[in-house]
Structure 1
């Protein structure tokens, strides 16, 4: 009897399900499937995501950017003060107007700095050729230079700037900068950099000797509160060489200086 009851309990639900299926209108089901649109949109008009339409993409549309890479205070073995380094551009993927500036202030006076303006043109993937002018500011007479150079990303993502200058009275100069960004976390970035400056002839009025005049470097650790705002701390060093070192010794200035720095990096 127990086995019979178990069989009946198993058969009863299946029988009830079969009865319910007999009452359904299968023609209606077939009709609903046939009337659905071929692309399953049910008549809803398609829409595009903003900025994803190929017609909206235009490589020739001008855009701009302003980066204040360094705005910092420093305390060194020889002196203390403030320094800056920044750049900005406006243009398209091929041609840009490029502005670059760096310098430092010690005590209550502008010690040294320059402003450069370039026309920049893309010549290869990640590389631009640049031509423009540079104006030296700060202590001593102002100097104006014609400038020609390249900038871009070298293998392993090293940022490179290499510029040659020609000035009045047969003056020549060159500057090379190497920079790298090492992501320790999504927000913590270590940024080493090296800069080399050289001059073809001495300019004592600006405390510059002939040859390689200055080697500088830095190691800065920044925390990106947002991608566009990042405070940082670090250490920087400077070493004067050749005739520039001799002029520094004559004036009682240090040839080698190490500085502790703290500042903020901002881009717009």
Structure 2
């Protein structure tokens, strides 16, 4: 066979193999195409009540956050402090529970503040809250009515502002914090809490006007999103008449402490 004939035979063989491969591929794809085009194989549309999809913002949810669970220490001693809250309800209406307090080296429970609030969303970022607050610890028990707001302010500052009222007068509390992401898991959080009272309460050490402040700077590492250990420094101070009461009782007026703790949410 000549060179030209051999080349022609090779080309004919290659063309035949290409045509056979294309036919095989088409045959393999044909059933899939037929099934896709078959109306009997299509999924029937989902029928909603009233012709509209369900509204998801009326489902029941729950959440709990233990924001502070920490030990504080300085040259004069130390204390353990916790601050947590939980809610249960829908996107618009919730039952909100809050609790905070301290335990000193003497084992006495102090600064106990416990609240049960009805929470209603008034905007995308803020809720209004109303309910009761009970100061319950080793000191005299006090009961208050409570009205306030909680949510995210400009630049996503977490903000709580609450007023309290009772037969002993009125009070107010302002709390704020901000999460500064150094990395996706390393977060620096400045925090502040201030308390104001309209009258003195010597039994509990609360003074008229700006009574006390509790502020801190905590660096936490979220090795798991729900569990985050942290280290930080905290500063507490009493003012004016509350400071005088603290000196009379032999307590610290100002304290700068080293803090180590755990932040949890569920």
**TM-score for both structures, normalised by structure 1:** 0.85
Query: How far off its partner does 1:21 sit?
Result: 6.2
Instruction: Kindly indicate whether the alpha-carbon contact (under 8 Å) linking 1:198 and 1:212 is maintained by their aligned counterparts in 2.
Output: yes
Distance 1:266 1:224 in 2: 10
Residue 15 (structure 2) pairs with residue 18 (structure 1): yes
Listed one character per residue, the Cα deviations across residues 64-91 of structure 1 (whole Å, up to 9, x for unaligned) are 1111111111113443121100000000
Query: How far off its partner does 1:13 sit?
Result: 3.8
Question: Which piece of structure 1 moves more, 64-73 or 157-166?
Answer: 64-73
Instruction: Kindly indicate whether the alpha-carbon contact (under 8 Å) linking 2:211 and 2:242 is maintained by their aligned counterparts in 1.
Output: yes
Query: How far off its partner does 1:195 sit?
Result: 1.0
User: May I ask how many residue pairs the two structures share in their alignment?
Assistant: 257
Query: How far off its partner does 1:127 sit?
Result: 0.7
Instruction: Kindly indicate whether the alpha-carbon contact (under 8 Å) linking 1:158 and 1:180 is maintained by their aligned counterparts in 2.
Output: yes
Residue 183 (structure 2) pairs with residue 182 (structure 1): no
| Candidates 215, 218, 221, aligned match of 2:216 | 218
Query: Where does the alignment leave 5 or more consecutive residues of structure 1 unmatched?
Result: 49-53
Instruction: Kindly indicate whether the alpha-carbon contact (under 8 Å) linking 2:119 and 2:130 is maintained by their aligned counterparts in 1.
Output: yes
Query: How far off its partner does 1:40 sit?
Result: 6.1
Distance 2:232 2:22 in 1: 78
Instruction: Kindly indicate whether the alpha-carbon contact (under 8 Å) linking 2:35 and 2:41 is maintained by their aligned counterparts in 1.
Output: no
Residue 133 (structure 2) pairs with residue 134 (structure 1): yes
Judged with a 3 Å threshold, the aligned counterparts in structure 2 of structure 1 residues 114 and 15 are, in CA distance, closer, same or farther, namely same
Distance 1:24 1:186 in 2: 52
Listed one character per residue, the Cα deviations across residues 214-244 of structure 1 (whole Å, up to 9, x for unaligned) are 1221111112231111111111101111111
Give SS of 1:14's match: helix
Query: Where does the alignment leave 5 or more consecutive residues of structure 2 unmatched?
Result: 46-51
Distance 1:25 1:259 in 2: 78
Judged with a 3 Å threshold, the aligned counterparts in structure 2 of structure 1 residues 157 and 34 are, in CA distance, closer, same or farther, namely same
Instruction: Kindly indicate whether the alpha-carbon contact (under 8 Å) linking 1:99 and 1:117 is maintained by their aligned counterparts in 2.
Output: yes
Query: How far off its partner does 1:188 sit?
Result: 1.6
Query: How far off its partner does 1:38 sit?
Result: 7.2
Distance 1:37 1:257 in 2: 78
Aligned-residue CA RMSD in angstroms? Answer: 3.1
What's 1:251 paired with? 249
